[in-house]
Amino acid sequence: MSRRIMLIPVGTSVGLTTVSIGLVRALEEQAIKLNFFKPVAQPRRGDTGEERSTAIISHHCSVKPIAPFDLNVVEQMISSDNTDELLEEIIERFEAHQEPDAVAVIEGLVTTRHHPYAERLNLEISRALDADIVFVCVPGNDDPVDINHRLEIVVDAYGGHKSKKVIGCIFNKVNAPYDEHGQLRTDLSVLEAPEHDETRSKALRELPIFAKGLNLLGNIDWNAELMSPRAIDIAKHLNATLINEGNIASRRLSSVTFAAREIHNMTHTLKPGALQVMSGDRGDVFVSCCLAALNGTKLGALLLTGGYQPDENIKQLCNQALETGLPVMLVNTNTWQTAQNLHAFNQEVPVDDSQRIEKVMVHAAESLDAKWVSSLTEKVSRQKKLSPSAFRYYLTNRARQVNKRVVLPEGNEPRTVAAAAICAKRGLARPVLIGDENEIQRVAQQQGVVLGDGVEIVSPAAIQEDYVAGLVKLRGHKGVTDVVARELLQDNVTLGTMMLQQGDVDGLVSGAVHTTANTIRPALQLIKTAENASLVSSVFFMLLPDQVLVYGDCAINPDPNAQQLADIAIQSATSAQMFGIEPRVAMISYSTGTSGAGSDVEKVREATEIAQKLRPDLLIDGPLQYDAAAIESVGRSKAPNSRVAGKANVFVFPDLNTGNTTYKAVQRSFDLVCIGPMLQGMRKPVNDLSRGALVDDIVFTIALTAIQAAN
């Protein structure tokens, strides 16, 4: 049985795309069959290429949207009085792509002065597609009485409260900054938005219309962080010349300051994410900004006006600061004209801004009513493949439930500090940063990060003595005395490992600056392997566009024998199950079945037989070539009787050389997110990071460490 949900905007500028992609993400996390359809493309001013909502969902979700109809074609058919024919074509296109056991999210048109027919067409499309109706409304500064009146009018237009098709309303941009005329402020000066107003939210929840049967299905707060553009977006908007490119593609802007004062009166504006706008001949401000950058403050960018290039001597003096990644751009307009141009900046998220799109999706999805979202999944089919979004949802949701304490020995490392703040804020874990509190707070301030009460900071000197006796007891047979133990505990990774060994924390994550050996060696010596494990191995979770694969072992064991390879297969299958993936394990080799011979193939064949005998409840098959394991048509041809071939989601490689090379080739060739390596076989969870890990990588590693601790 399919479900069809059509989102109908109530008024203009309701943020319909935000709600659409949020609902798609919320449903995608439920691992169900899903589709998206915007029947008529409605490009904004300056848009080129694909329709925005369709493009975002196509590129950032595991959903293949149905192509919309071109707006010009639609308007021509309406003006020629061929609306019935248009509706027939819309139905035909939708039914040709919609599975009978899937949920479809349908996005309506926004009524504007250029598209006055949108309201009528939305009604006709909703009836033609037999869709349930969800209204999307922005409360603005309106009085609750006026908001209720607006909703009553639109409900009546769709059949009134007795209509079984009208199911609810989603409020968007709640508590957004509005001016005295009730207009949403879209200039960059409001990136630092007002705090959440619970009184306003409560008034919306208590509107009389909700007592009549209309359901409030979501309350999406305005979030200033989601409005932060990249420096490159501003450069494109202003057609600016780049003086120093720096990290222009990744630096985000959270405030704007115009340098119209003496420098001692504006030092407080030199903060992370700040766009500093100045006349190009203000060398004093330029140097001050560079000093701030040298001190570790990640300013957003410098924007020079008037066409004035900075003096060459000053540029040479500031060269080291520019090498920190500080973007510097130049425009020919004066400061006043530049301010007017910035005011006209379109803050809609660009289709290529993956990081911001992901945050918008998550924020909108989490703001929807969970019971309603869950109700949409009833009597529809589940996806056979676990999508990346469903995997991330499982990861974060499960981590919140277990609420574990995870120690981070690299406590003053900037990415680690930012990840700890995110984990605490989202309730994914109770992070413990090891390091000097003043230093950690300084790093946080430079990153624009606020460390709330959920982040614990532990000074190494304050706790080292607590673990001396325990370390001596564990390693005394290796010659570790009190003196040696105190020396070893100077290393924060060893100290954190002892905290884990003694049960003071539940897991450990390190590796942002330490090598894999530095992270794993203390764990092997102090934590040791689990009782039922013969070795420690690892897996990577490979987040492909439409599913999640598990790769093992790609980080630890150089050349495992057959018994060890069987253990790695069982450990990897168990890890897959732990994270909601029903394992189908392929033992990878350079030949499939009995087609090849040689010691390497025999090792894989023997490992497969051992694993099958040890765990007959698991689907394990091999040897299989990668294509036979991954591609259904090849699997049917090369291993027609295999229950794994062509359907594998856990890939066990014969040695480290093969595994590590394959995972990196797949990751880099397709620009995939890879979570791991996650260590398997330890008594307690210890996980290593790549030294190139992003903040999100660390966040997910902390989350999976918490889940491991619970299992």
**What's the whole-number mean pLDDT along residues 551-579?**
94
Percent share of the chain, pLDDT over 70: 96
For residues 150, 152, 153, 158, the Cα torsion angle rounded to the nearest 10 degrees is: 130
Q: What is the pLDDT of residue 200?
A: 75
| pLDDT of amino acid 187 | 55
Of 3-17, 159-173, 386-400, the poorest mean pLDDT is in 386-400
Q: Does domain 390-526 have CATH number 3.40.50.10950?
A: yes
pLDDT at 196: 55
Q: For residue 40, list its beta bridge partners.
A: 69
Region 557-574: mean pLDDT is 95
- Tokens in use for 11? 């008024």
Give CA–CA dist 654/552, Å, rounded.
Answer: 9
Task: Please give the single-letter amino acid code of residue 655.
Answer: D
pLDDT (0 to 100) of residue 488: 93
**197-225 average pLDDT score:** 86
- Residue-range domain boundaries for the chain: 3-226, 231-343, 390-526, 537-676
Distance, in Å, from the CA atom of 54 to the CA atom of 269, rounded to the nearest integer, reads 39
Tell me the average pLDDT across 24-53.
86
Q: What is the DSSP string of 459-521?
A: -HHHHGGGGHHHHHHHHGGGT--HHHHHHHTTSHHHHHHHHHHTTSSSEEEE-SSS-HHHHHH
| Dihedral, CA of residue 527, residue 531, residue 537 and residue 540, to nearest 10 | -90
Class of domain 537-676: alpha beta
Provide mean pLDDT across the span 668-684. 87
| Alpha carbons 211 and 207: distance in angstroms, whole number | 7
Q: What single DSSP character describes residue 332?
A: S
**416 against 268, higher pLDDT:** 416
Fold of 3-226: Rossmann fold (3.40.50)
Q: Which of 242-246, 325-329, 513-517, 530-534 has the lowest mean pLDDT?
A: 530-534
Cis peptide leading into 567, omega within 30 of 0?
A: no
Nearest Cα neighbor of 517 from 679, 399, 379 is 679
Confidence of residue 51 (pLDDT cuts 50, 70, 90): confident
Q: Is the pLDDT of residue 181 over 80?
A: no
Q: Do domains 3-226 and 537-676 have the same CATH topology?
A: yes
pLDDT, one tens digit per residue, over 427-445 is 999 999 999 999 999 999 8
Instruction: Please check the confidence at residue 578 and state whether its pLDDT lies above 80.
Output: yes
User: What was the pLDDT predicted at 206?
Assistant: 86
Bridge partners (DSSP) of residue 430 are: 405
- The rounded distance, in Å, linking the Cα atoms of 544 and 440 is 35
Q: What pLDDT, on a 0 to 100 scale, did the predictor assign at position 213? A: 86
Q: What is the pLDDT of residues 116-173, one digit of tens each?
A: 889 999 999 999 998 999 999 999 888 889 999 999 999 999 988 888 899 999 999 9
Q: Residue 641 half-sphere exposure, CB side, CA atoms within 13 Å?
A: 2
Residue 183 binned pLDDT confidence (cut-offs 50, 70, 90): low
Q: Domain 231-343: give its CATH code.
A: 3.40.1390.20
Q: What contacts 24+ positions apart, CB below 8 Å, involve 339-343?
A: 339/258, 339/277, 341/237, 341/238, 342/187, 342/188, 342/234, 342/238, 342/256, 342/277, 343/187, 343/188
Residue 365 has pLDDT above 60, yes or no: yes
Q: How confident is the model at residue 12 (pLDDT cuts 50, 70, 90)?
A: confident
Higher pLDDT, 195 or 327: 327
- Model-level pTM? 0.79
pLDDT at 192: 53
State the average pLDDT over residues 563-569. Answer: 96
Res. 332: pLDDT tops 80: yes
Task: Confirm if 89 and 67 have CB atoms less than 8 A apart.
Answer: no
Q: Which pLDDT belongs to residue 288?
A: 93
Report which of residues 266 and 277 the model is more confident about: 277
- Cα–Cα distance measured from residue 564 to residue 606, given in angstroms and rounded to the nearest whole number: 11
pLDDT at 389: 79
Distance CA 434, CA 496 (A): 8
Model confidence at 184: pLDDT above 80: no
- pLDDT of the residue at 547: 87
State percent of the chain over pLDDT 90.
64
Q: What pLDDT is attached to residue 102?
A: 87
Position 1 pLDDT exceeds 80: no
pLDDT at 45 over 90: no
**Tokens encoding 189:** 């000066």
Binning pLDDT at 50, 70 and 90, where does residue 46 land? Answer: low
The pLDDT of residue 598 is 81
pLDDT at 38 over 60: yes
Residue 685 has pLDDT above 90, yes or no: yes
pLDDT at residue 350 tops 70? yes
pLDDT band at 182 (very low <50, low <70, confident <90, very high): low
Write down the residue that tokens 């449903």 correspond to: 27
Q: Is the pLDDT of residue 60 over 90?
A: no
* The predicted structure's pLDDT at residue 198: 73
Question: What does the pLDDT look like over 454-512, one tens digit per residue?
Answer: 999 999 999 999 999 999 999 999 899 999 999 999 999 999 999 999 999 999 999 99
Are 338 and 256 contacting, i.e. CB atoms less than 8 angstroms apart?
no
Q: Which residues contact 5 (CB under 8 A, 6 or more apart)?
A: 23, 103, 104, 105, 106, 131, 132, 134, 376
Mean pLDDT of all residues in the chain?
Answer: 90
Tell me the pLDDT band of 384, cut-offs 50, 70 and 90: low
